[in-house]
A and B are shown apart, each in its own frame.
Chain A
Amino acid sequence: MLDKKKLKKEQIIQCALELFASRGFYSTTIPDIAKSLKMSVGNMYNYFKSKDILASEIIKYISIYLGEKLKEINEEDISTKEKTRKIVEMYFKTASLKPEMIDYFLRIYLSNREVFKDSCEGMLCVNEFVTEIMIYFEEGVKCGDLREQDFFSAFGLFMGYLGGMVFLKGENILPKDLNDYVEDITFNIYKALSAE
């Protein structure tokens, strides 16, 4: 029973993500989502009480998804440089396979802070993801690969770069495929963060 409800929730999240990506966040309504899932609006509200709640559940869902992928990389017994490459690869792969996820993160979560201010204070909704990034940094500094510095300047550098590339791709500005940039981007990020 619980699993069925969870599955349904995931379906709603996936459908909402796609609609937000194609029609925009503000012009997509709960009835639109219900309609596209062939559900009644009343039933929709059994799963998500409001659009804002749905919005923050979606960002949590994405954070858990990316957090799990990062955790796998963090737990591998490989150098920080290798980890950096795997993170870049994973992020770009997600952007190709599930573009609506990264799109949501960049265009909705980061640009509509007012929607998230009550239920997602600070970085609460992206905790799983941020925790793994912190562990990547911490372990890198501890083993001497990365330079000790303020967390946010390192975080901004890493995520800003990845986000920027995905954004350019979304706007069809990038001349090459995203994956063609993995090596160069890994090199740049690692060089900027490394202790050497």
Chain B
Amino acid sequence: MKKKMRILWLSAISCNGNTHSFLNYPYMETFLDDFEFIYHPVIDSKYLLQDIVSKLISCDILLIEGAISREFKRADVSIVDIIEKYSKIVQKIVTVGTCATFGGIFRESGYKNTSGLHFDQEKQIENFKYLLDKTISISGCPIHPEVLVNTLYAIKKSTTLRLDGFLRPKAFYAYTVHNGCTRNEYFEYKVDNHKFGELEGCMYYEHGCQAPFTHGSCNKILWNEVNSKTRAGLPCMGCTEPSFPRQNLFSTKKNMSIPENLPVGVSKRAYLTLAGITKAFKIDRLEKKLFDD
């Protein structure tokens, strides 16, 4: 029998959303031929949480889901102590989701000093600094299962993953979610004509779409292999970014009609010049509903 890689899936302050997203991975059987969980909060595994905290069970990869605070305990042991113990024996640590990476929504919880493993939003923290070289961040609320699984296979095959400043694999996070959106043409010609679920129009200007400055592959690696938020007609909420969740997710913050956040790498002057030019076009094909005759 080929050797499976052993994974410990530790859940910290979490809603288990990443677990549920992971359970939608379509090729789970193949995955479980190559990897096994020594412990997972919802998947049957060999050991109990009690075993995990009382003994030191050998494993290769530590996955952390959820935000971290010293106060938070699993089986009566601080999550920080469990992480410290296992971090010594594993090859790699993967922060699964935006909470484990940046603090996410549970950063606002009642626990003191709650943050991600290495980052408190975009600020790098001192705790666990010595683990920086071992960690890979898979941000997202929730994570895309394929991004997690492909990262785990890269670890298994000892492929070197190039990481960005937040330790996210560039292969998945170098793009913006805007890349691959089926509404790009509407963005270019500034056609904003949107109700939730409508097929026409871009959601950047009026409805809070954060995709032009959100790093992720949502429109390149589709969800459930069929769709993405923006394709279906819901604005991207920027869930892979340290700033997630911001307030008023469905509105675009503007200063005297100019969006406060511009697409990555585009200067204000350039954006306004382009917008001024494209606004002059009236393209019937884009103004009309697609299926109205």
| Partner of A151 from B256, B260, B269 at Cβ < 8 Å | B256
| Partner of B256 from A124, A131, A154 at Cβ < 8 Å | A154
B160 beta carbon closer than 8 Å to chain A: no
Interface locus among A4-12, A91-99, A132-140:
A132-140
Interface string of A104-143 (1 = CB under 8 A from B): 0000000000000000011110011011001101101110
Please determine whether B268 and A138 come into contact, CB atoms closer than 8 angstroms: yes
Closest A residue by C-beta to B255: A141
Residues of B within 8 A of A140 (CB): 256
Bound-state Cα–Cα, A75 to B277, Å? 23
Closest A residue by C-beta to B258: A138
Smallest CB–CB gap between A73 and chain B, Å?
14
A149-167: which residues lie under 8 A (CB-CB) from chain B? Answer: 149-151, 154
| Partner of A127 from B255, B257, B260, B277 at Cβ < 8 Å | B277
Closest A residue by C-beta to B268: A135
Smallest CB–CB gap between B252 and chain A, Å?
13
Bound-state Cα–Cα, A154 to B269, Å? 19
A33 beta carbon closer than 8 Å to chain B: no
Residues of A within 8 A of B281 (CB): 121
Smallest CB–CB gap between A118 and chain B, Å?
11
Please determine whether B256 and A137 come into contact, CB atoms closer than 8 angstroms: yes
| Partner of B276 from A127, A146, A149, A150 at Cβ < 8 Å | A127
B42 beta carbon closer than 8 Å to chain A: no
Please determine whether B277 and A134 come into contact, CB atoms closer than 8 angstroms: no
B89-125: which residues lie under 8 A (CB-CB) from chain A? Answer: none
Q: Given contacts A131-B269, A135-B268, A135-B269, is CB(A142)–CB(B276) below 8 Å?
A: no
Closest B residue by C-beta to A149: B256
Residues of B within 8 A of A89 (CB): none
Smallest CB–CB gap between B267 and chain A, Å?
10
Bound-state Cα–Cα, A146 to B255, Å? 9
Please determine whether A138 and B276 come into contact, CB atoms closer than 8 angstroms: no
Please determine whether B256 and A134 come into contact, CB atoms closer than 8 angstroms: yes
Please determine whether B260 and A130 come into contact, CB atoms closer than 8 angstroms: no
B154-185: which residues lie under 8 A (CB-CB) from chain A? Answer: none
Bound-state Cα–Cα, A128 to B269, Å? 9
Please determine whether B273 and A127 come into contact, CB atoms closer than 8 angstroms: yes
Bound-state Cα–Cα, A122 to B278, Å? 10
Q: Given contacts A138-B255, A146-B256, A151-B256, is CB(A131)–CB(B280) below 8 Å?
A: no
Smallest CB–CB gap between B20 and chain A, Å?
40
Q: Given contacts A138-B268, A142-B260, is CB(A131)–CB(B255) below 8 Å?
A: no
Smallest CB–CB gap between B284 and chain A, Å?
14
Closest B residue by C-beta to A140: B256
Smallest CB–CB gap between B34 and chain A, Å?
51
Bound-state Cα–Cα, A148 to B273, Å? 21
B272 beta carbon closer than 8 Å to chain A: yes
Residues of B within 8 A of A141 (CB): 255-256
Residues of B within 8 A of A127 (CB): 273, 276-277
B279 beta carbon closer than 8 Å to chain A: yes
Interface string of A7-41 (1 = CB under 8 A from B): 00000000000000000000000000000000000
Bound-state Cα–Cα, A138 to B261, Å? 12
Please determine whether A123 and B276 come into contact, CB atoms closer than 8 angstroms: yes
B270-293: which residues lie under 8 A (CB-CB) from chain A? Answer: 272-273, 276-277, 279-282
Please determine whether A124 and B268 come into contact, CB atoms closer than 8 angstroms: no
Please determine whether B280 and A148 come into contact, CB atoms closer than 8 angstroms: no
Please determine whether A134 and B280 come into contact, CB atoms closer than 8 angstroms: no
Residues of B within 8 A of A135 (CB): 268-269, 272
Residues of B within 8 A of A134 (CB): 256-258, 272
Please determine whether B280 and A137 come into contact, CB atoms closer than 8 angstroms: no
| Partner of B280 from A124, A138, A146, A149 at Cβ < 8 Å | A124
Closest B residue by C-beta to A134: B272
Residues of A within 8 A of B258 (CB): 134, 137-138, 151
Please determine whether A131 and B279 come into contact, CB atoms closer than 8 angstroms: no
Max chain B CB contacts within 10 Å: which of A138, A146, A150, A154?
A138
Chain B residues at the A interface, C-beta cutoff of 8 Å: 254-258, 260, 268-269, 272-273, 276-277, 279-282
The 3 A-B residue pairs with the shortest CB-CB distance, nearest first, are A122-B280, A151-B257, A141-B255
- Could you jot down 25 A-B contacts, CB within 8 Å? A122-B276, A122-B279, A124-B277, A124-B280, A128-B273, A130-B276, A131-B269, A131-B273, A131-B276, A134-B257, A134-B258, A134-B272, A135-B269, A137-B258, A138-B255, A138-B256, A138-B258, A141-B255, A142-B260, A148-B254, A148-B256, A150-B256, A150-B257, A151-B257, A154-B256
